[in-house]
Structure 1
Amino acid sequence: MARATPSLSSTFNSIAMNSKVDVDENKWVESVRKSIIEQEDEELNKIPVCIFTVPKVLLATDPKSYIPQQVALGPFHHWRAEVYDMQRYKLAAARRLQTFMNVRFERIVETMKIREEARIRACYHKFLDMSGDALMWMMAVDMAFLLEFLVVYSMKREGRVLKRITSSMSHLVDVTGKKLSHVAILRDLVMVENQIPLFLIKTMMEHQQRRESDIKSPAEKLKSMLMGLYQELTPFTEQALADVDIDECDHLLDFLYHMTVPNNKELGISVAVEIEYEGITEEADEGDEEKSFSKPSDLRRFMNFIWKILTKSNAGMVRIFKKIIFRRPVALMMKFPWKIISNIPILKLLKGPMENMFHNFRGEGPESKDESGDSKTPTIEEITIPSVTEMANAGILFSPVNGGIFDISFNAKTCTLYLPVVSLDVNTDVYLRNLVAYEACVAAGPLVVARYTELMNGIIDTEEDAKFLRERGIVVNRLKSDKEVADVWNGMSKSVKLTKVAKMDKVIADVNHMYEQTWKVKTSRYLKRYVFASWKILTLLAALFMLFLSTVQALCTVYSCSRALSHLPEFPGSEGGE
């Protein structure tokens, strides 16, 4: 384990260094000239960028989940030494495709270069500093390898049936999915930076169909393969799968994302649903004062009322205290030692808490601001929801649902939270992380997958939470322990921006409201606020009062206090005896 971290960091650093390599200026000028002058096709300008690099904020959290370790597809990681060993198996797949097509592979590459080079370059958001020949040979070989790998997941309409594979691929893929190389390849296929345009595979399958007597169209065959791959990778167990149009998918990960987060058309919903995603800040209801910690409680309002009465009173005792405090000699005596005491390092630390305590007492809670003085926007870590064990102790029930992310719901009448069944294996972490990264790159609306991972991260804090969900049938654990399940969710809390998903946010709000209204939570918080917290405040005040008395006693031993005491007012009726 000690050797894994240096190699991973060195890989991350090498990728950063490769982004700064020297560029041949002549080749660069030629490519720019060709792109601007020779390519006058207006259709190329309409091709959206669909293959991105992972945002740095996500890449820094866990590079191994975004950098391919076994096989590289496309130009981003092709030249890395760690994945170049797979080149021999890619070439073997290309030779088998050449034999099956009964055409020279060079002819396939030349056709691709004439027809598809500009379209391929337009798909990548990063400038590809490669010659046309190198790019086309690379894409053709990778396409042959990916197509041969996907054939394993071909499906028939009545169910999933895996075809027999050739002996040359048996060491890489296995119908049971238990071989290490097969698992590693699956992890690499779903990575954001490891995608190739899907239209290349569709074009190749169209040429293959000319030599086969198959009733299915190339699009139907490709969709069957990708559906099988989705069922192999998805952690959810949907009863009804979305009907995704393969012609509208840009690459393999795009198809997997549409299957995980289908739109209304793919779900068969004709009515448009308006979703708000401007922010995550939720304003508390003005009439519900129990939810807002910034509003004064009943005890605080009572104390404020008593304080106002005392400050406006003209009773003799109040006047005496005012004279004692504001008499100039005594005031000067008190101000001098207070400056000394407030600068003592230990007591100086109490200045902030004491000021916050008096601010809260007056109902003036300190406002959270950033460096510029503006109010801070809540971060993802500040989005809170009780953990599974906390909700269970409060009486909230959990029930599994055979569905996807949009099947999350909460029934306030039965006090039951419905969560989709999620199966966790060695590929789930990488699969969900790359869906979150891809969603951040392309989604113009709410980040649904990111919000789901934030929700699961919020309710699963410890292995006891993971064990509880596993016993309820919500989490199917194919990892080594419940602790690994908790680590998976807790490691995916990082996102690139704040978002709001209406349905899930309503569930979170309903759960928090129900949790706050349970008698166990109310009793516990009442004891913490007004009993345990009071003892802390009283202990602090007693310690400060003893320190004050000790200071006065020390000062009186040094200075003569008789002069100050002579100015004290006399109590009425004290003269002349009784």
Structure 2
Amino acid sequence: MATDRLLPLKRTLGLVESTSSISRISKVPNELRRLKKEAYSPQIVSIGPYHHGKGNLPDMEKHKLQYVLHLLHRTTTPVETLDDCGQAIQNLVQRVRGCYAEDIRRSVENKLLQILVVDGCFIFEMFYRRAFPPETNLNDPIANNAWMVSSLEHDLVLLENQIPFFILVKLYDIFQERLNIPPEHSLTSLALSFFHLEMDDMQKGMSTEPNHLLDLLHKVWLPRSDMGQSGSETRGFDRCASELIEAGIQFEKNESRHLLDIEFDPNDGVIKIPPLSIDAAESLLRNFIALEQCDISTRTFHISSYALMMRSLIRSSVDVKLLQQKGIIISDLELGGSDWIAIDGVCKNVVFSERFFFNKLCTDVREYRASRFHWQRQKAIWTVSCHRYLAELKRDYFSNPWKIIAFLAALALLILTGLGTGYTVRSYYNGSSELENVL
């Protein structure tokens, strides 16, 4: 008995082989959680052991069981199928325990198997319904509620609300043949389709299996090419968006669907950035960053680098409004003040490694800004200056009808004065010519 009680200590000390060398599903650090608790906590549904039975989340359990029942009845032998699911997952329970950063044995005790079966089948049924929609959703309390669907998509990508991906793989193997799922509908494609994403050629050949759903989306969001990582002190742009505009650097929306596909062309001085919806992406960005901070197996700080770069670019509501006009920032807010606060808050209390993945981009922009004889940059500066002067003219002289009348009166007076002066000069020269003719 004493030996069994010391088993966790022995595993910690490396004296016995652990079921998992790396904890892949972590708790969000308190330093990040206290900044915006709702960005890391499930709204309506718990997945996995961390939030099981907390708050009002048990209210969703009856809907989860209903989905599980629908999934089982899609097969010809529902009881046998459930037994097969239970047996397959039972063989993986010890491996599952090693995937969580905290000891979950006391919190769920003997419930872990049931949690994995119910949550896994519930997720798979949601994926199946999205890929193969039923003819009617009249009896579906989830599909008929737009808020619930949005909340579910939010909850399924929280770092603390995950089950290991290999559990979903095992369930997919069981149901694929029994539901006649076409081979082209892999588990990965079903998952991405649920989150309104499509697989490209690189994702089809994904070399490593994701650890969980959040890790899958993280892999999808990674850039298609190397962005020039560096161990230098570079941590973003040294000027914000409005200052870069004044320096002759332009911004355009990149039509790429990959958020990290940010480009800079030194020939025309244009930074192309894919659009970012703050309202839709803030929580996901926060959980991606928490994943990178807590799970060293990701071996990447791409999202952390992206957030830091955007934070250096957006330092006030003026910058947000400028990027909104370019179609880069998408928001329902007109002035962008809350968006600036949201972007600024994403990077707080985040520990960045030396691997900043936009170093080359930021260096190229800085060198372009320092060039004095680039005609495209000078043209952009002149254009910005003209727009500013026209805006000041409109503000100072055309902001109300009385100012317009006063401006037109002053302009008319100036024209009349000029005409009078011209007439006087002309009369003087004509008089001089006549005098010379007389003499």
TM-score by shorter chain over 0.5: yes
Residues 204 and 408 of structure 1, relative CA distance in 2, 3 Å threshold: same
- Equivalent residue, structure 1, for 2:412: none
- Aligned-pair distance for 1:149? 1.7
Identity %: 21
- Equivalent residue, structure 2, for 1:468: 322
- Equivalent residue, structure 2, for 1:103: 78
When Rg is computed on C-alpha atoms for both structures, the one with the higher figure is 1
- Aligned-pair distance for 1:473? 2.5
Residues 87 and 502 of structure 1, relative CA distance in 2, 3 Å threshold: closer
SS in 2 for 1:210: helix
Match of residue 256, structure 1, among 217, 224, 227? 217
Aligned: 1:224 with 2:189:
yes
2:37 and 2:84 map into 1 onto residues whose CA distance is 35
Aligned: 1:496 with 2:323:
no
> Which runs of 5 or more residues in structure 2 are unaligned?
373-377, 382-439
Match of residue 275, structure 2, among 416, 421, 428? 421
- Equivalent residue, structure 1, for 2:26: 52
1:143 counterpart letter in structure 2: G
- Aligned-pair distance for 1:252? 0.6
Contact residue 152 and residue 165 of structure 1 kept, 8 A:
no
1:111 and 1:168 map into 2 onto residues whose CA distance is 34
How many residues get paired? 366
SS in 1 for 2:105: coil
SS in 1 for 2:251: strand
- Equivalent residue, structure 2, for 1:136: 113
- Aligned-pair distance for 1:54? 1.2
- Aligned-pair distance for 1:457? 1.4
- Aligned-pair distance for 1:132? 5.8
SS in 2 for 1:496: coil
Aligned: 1:398 with 2:274:
no
Aligned: 1:72 with 2:36:
no
Residues 52 and 469 of structure 1, relative CA distance in 2, 3 Å threshold: same
1:388 counterpart letter in structure 2: A
- Trace 1:451-466 onto structure 2 (pairs within 5 A): 451-466=305-320
Match of residue 159, structure 2, among 192, 201, 205? 192
- Trace 1:76-87 onto structure 2 (pairs within 5 A): 76-87=50-61
Contact residue 387 and residue 458 of structure 1 kept, 8 A:
yes
1:146 and 1:114 map into 2 onto residues whose CA distance is 18
- Trace 1:172-571 onto structure 2 (pairs within 5 A): 172-173=142-143, 179-216=146-183, 220-231=185-196, 242-243=203-204, 245=206, 248-261=209-222, 267=224, 276-278=229-231, 280-281=232-233, 385-403=238-256, 404-422=258-276, 424=277, 426-443=279-296, 445-477=299-331, 482-501=336-355, 504-516=358-370
- Aligned-pair distance for 1:450? 0.8
Contact residue 398 and residue 418 of structure 1 kept, 8 A:
yes
- Aligned-pair distance for 1:429? 0.7
SS in 1 for 2:248: coil
Residues 446 and 113 of structure 1, relative CA distance in 2, 3 Å threshold: closer
- Aligned-pair distance for 1:137? 0.7
Contact residue 51 and residue 123 of structure 1 kept, 8 A:
yes
- Aligned-pair distance for 1:55? 2.2
- Equivalent residue, structure 2, for 1:317: none
1:441 counterpart letter in structure 2: C
Contact residue 162 and residue 212 of structure 2 kept, 8 A:
yes
- Equivalent residue, structure 2, for 1:146: 123
Contact residue 89 and residue 116 of structure 2 kept, 8 A:
no
- Aligned-pair distance for 1:205? 2.1
- Aligned-pair distance for 1:281? 2.0
1:229 counterpart letter in structure 2: F
Normalising by structure 2, report the TM-score. Answer: 0.72
Normalising by structure 1, report the TM-score. Answer: 0.56
